[in-house]
Amino acid sequence: MSANTADRGQWRRKKKISIFLFTLVCAVFALFIVLHHNALADPQTERLKKTCACALLTLGAVSFALSYDKLMVLPLELFHSRKLIWRLAVNDFKKRYAGSYMGVVWALVQPVVTVFMYWMVFDVIFQTKAQMVAQGLDVPYVLFLTAGLVPWFFFSEALSSGTGSLLEYNYLVKKVVFKISILPLIKVISALFIHLFFTAILFGIAIAYGFSPTLYSLQIFYYMLCEFILVLGICYTTCAVQVFFRDLSQIISIALQLGQWATPILWDINRVSDRYKWLIKLNPMVYIVNGFRSSVYDKELFFSHFYSSTYFWIFTVALFGIGSLIFKRSKVHFADVL
């Protein structure tokens, strides 16, 4: 009894500290938002943005405090299972290409062929001009294209495989003692291995065209983290729904095809009228794609796009929280349905 009382007391202390730290982070962000000044922006629009951002941060802090016990179940499960997650992710990656003669090479061929086809059509045939960065340098279209496709390939692969993770590992879902919350994460990490290789290829292309790595290039890891958390949050929702609605994978496949064209991967967002640009930026992958390009050749720090960063993290944290709650409430029915 005393041990249980001590555990509950320790849990309450951790809860208070976590809520305090989260509220403090929200308050610091709100302070930065209020103090941030953009001389080129319309004052009325700036006030509206600041009001909305501060309201969302306040709502987030209150929601976190009220729903702490529910929201922290999933992150704690993942943290305690970190060693098992790594082993299963490595095994999943190996299993995917086991039995084929070329093995992991097949994972590289399709994206490379895709980049080559787009390059031939848009650069060689139609002679599409890529964007010109702030430093006045012309960016070759193949570099512009690859910097957009590399993060999209990871997003597409991780979302597709993560959505079907519970169906693929249904024999583990039926085991009472197994923590099924790690399955979507295993798929996302497995997709990350190939993503790291293509990121290295991206920098190789940049070097070949005279864009050497700089300190700005290090923020590529920040954008990788952003995309990782974003796609994981989506996967917790989609994999739970997929168990009950098997057609979801086909819908996601179509949505990814549409999303590739709706995201400024093949085209430059700066060519869009300012009237509609804000609508395009509601897509969180725009932040990731632009971030990859900034890391490779544009030499822009991530916090130079202050409102885009604020919107992305508010959207991503909210999405992850919603995904966690949906997964937690649905998982008691997974074994019965599967």
Token pair 């249904």: residue: 170
Give the long-range contacts of residues 82-85, CB within 8 A, separation 24 or more. Answer: 84/182, 85/182, 85/185, 85/186, 85/189
Same domain, 292 and 205: yes
Domain that holds residue 59: 1-66
The Cα–Cα gap between 100 and 173 comes to 28
Question: Which pair of structure tokens corresponds to residue 329?
Answer: 């409430």
Last residue of a domain, one of 66, 87, 108: 66
CA distance 141 to 233: 32
Among the residue ranges 2-11, 80-89, 220-229, the one predicted with the least confidence is 2-11
Chain CA centroid to CA 126, Å: 32
* 20-39 average pLDDT score: 82
Asked if residue 279 and residue 209 are part of one domain, the reply reads: yes
Q: Is the pLDDT of residue 326 over 70?
A: yes
Number of domains in the chain: 2
Query: Are 233 and 320 in a shared domain?
Result: yes
78: DSSP letter: H
DSSP one-letter string for 250-302: HHHHHHHHHHHHHTTTSS-GGGS-HHHHHHHTTSHHHHHHHHHHIIIII---G
- Do residues 26 and 130 both lie within one domain? no
Cβ count within 10 A of residue 214: 11
The amino acid at residue 87 is: R
pTM: 0.82
**Secondary structure class of 193 (helix, strand, coil):** helix
At 131, give phi and psi (nearest 5°). -75, 160
Phi, psi (rounded to 5 degrees) for 147: -65, -25
Q: How many CB atoms lie within 10 A of CB 327?
A: 23
3-state secondary structure (DSSP) of residue 164: coil
Residues 6+ apart with CB under 8 A from 247: none
Assess whether 327 and 292 both reside in one domain. Answer: yes
**Within this chain, do residues 127 and 50 fall inside the same structural domain, yes or no?**
no
Query: Looking at per-residue confidence, does 66 or 263 come out higher?
Result: 263
pLDDT, position 4: 63
Q: Around Cβ 86, how many Cβ atoms within 10 Å?
A: 12
pLDDT digits (tens, 9 = 90+) for 153-210: 999 999 999 999 999 888 888 876 788 889 999 999 999 988 998 899 899 888 988 8
Structure confidence by residue, pLDDT tens digits, 134-168: 445 578 888 888 899 999 999 999 999 999 999 98
Q: Which residues pair with 132 in a beta bridge?
A: 138
Nearest to 321 by CA among 185, 187, 230: 230
Q: Residue 67: pLDDT above 90?
A: no
Rg (CA), the chain: 22
Instruction: Look at residue 253 in the predicted model and tell me its pLDDT.
Output: 93
Same domain, 35 and 180: no
pLDDT higher than threshold 80 for residue 269? yes
Same domain, 143 and 33: no
Domain co-membership, 40 together with 137: no
Three-class SS of residue 203? helix
In this predicted structure, the answer to whether residue 73 has a pLDDT above a threshold of 90 is no
Asked if residue 221 and residue 247 are part of one domain, the reply reads: yes
When pLDDT is cut at 50, 70 and 90, the band that residue 108 belongs to is confident
* pLDDT value of residue 134: 45
Which sign, positive or negative, has the C-alpha torsion 80, 82, 87, 90? positive
